[in-house]
Amino acid sequence: MQPRSFIRRRHRYHMLVSLLLITTSTWTWASGNPQEIRELTLAIKQLENVQAILKRAEMQARATSRDLRTTRYEFDYELVRSDLQRISEGVRGYLSPSRAQPRDFADIAGDYSRDRVGP
């Protein structure tokens, strides 16, 4: 078993390498200035963090929701995950565009509560 500090350092190393790869690949493609590229790369990272937080919240909700009859609504994690993925893909598409492709202009949902369906 590896020490906890080694795992943290290894995780930081992987994050740094990933960030550098994203950043260096976007320099040649993005039409924006370097500051814009840095900010958009940071936005992608923050979206990834939000997705991780939502995943933890979903696991916590599943673990603690023993009495399903007392709640009428639940948070629609799947829908918010798909919207965040769509936003992230849009930012990545701007930073490193491929050949001109038709875009899908579907709206994001925005309303993430839904009626609970039975116990």
Residue 80 has pLDDT above 90, yes or no: yes
| Domain chopping of the chain, boundaries | 4-115
pLDDT of res. 9: 55
Contact of 73 with 116, CB cutoff 8 Å: yes
> Which is nearest to 54 in space by CA: 27, 28, 88, 95?
88
**With 70 as the cut, is the pLDDT of residue 78 above it?**
yes
Distance of CA 42 to the CA centre of its chain: 12
Q: How confident is the model at residue 41 (pLDDT cuts 50, 70, 90)?
A: very high
pTM (predicted TM-score) = 0.57
Spatial CA neighbour of 96 closest among 31, 36, 51, 43: 31
Give the per-residue pLDDT at 118.
Answer: 61
Which spans in 65-106 are helix H? 77-95
31-40 contacts at long range (C-beta below 8 A, 24 or more positions apart)? 31/94, 32/94, 37/95, 40/91, 40/94, 40/95
